[in-house]
Amino acid sequence: MGRIAIIGGGITGLSLAYFLLEKDPALEVTVFESEKRPGGKIWTDRSDGYLCEWGVNGFLDNRPMTLELSRKLSLAPLRSNDASRKRFIYSGGVLHRLPESPPAFLTSKLLTFPGKLRVMAEMI
């Protein structure tokens, strides 16, 4: 039996611990985290009836390995409710609603015109 110390309880440290233990359950793995909660930059905040996701709250990946890991972690696809379609970004002291259509994207004040052009160029 080996002993392993992992410094940092963010997504990388937690993933490393998970995969090491999956490969060898006899390992003694300890994750050290300086914050009060694990997760690093990823966490959920519930306040006054609002749900704020700080960091990643989803992924676009359909590779078998990713989907299998999602199932193992009970992260199977979840249906979102209609309220979750309304998403916002806080930037420059202002709460901006994310556009849900191409016309809304073009008229949104979230990005500058050059920023919108860069986004559109990435789609090509």
pLDDT tens figures, 33-69: 999 999 888 888 888 988 887 887 666 677 788 778 8
Give the domain extent around 105: 87-124
* In-domain check, residue 17: no
* In-domain check, residue 98: yes
Cα dihedral sign for 52, 55, 91, 35? positive
* In-domain check, residue 46: no
pTM for the whole structure: 0.55
* In-domain check, residue 103: yes
Q: Summarize pLDDT for 64-94 with one digit per residue, the tens.
A: 887 788 788 877 666 666 666 778 888 888 8
* In-domain check, residue 120: yes
| Number of domains the chain contains | 1
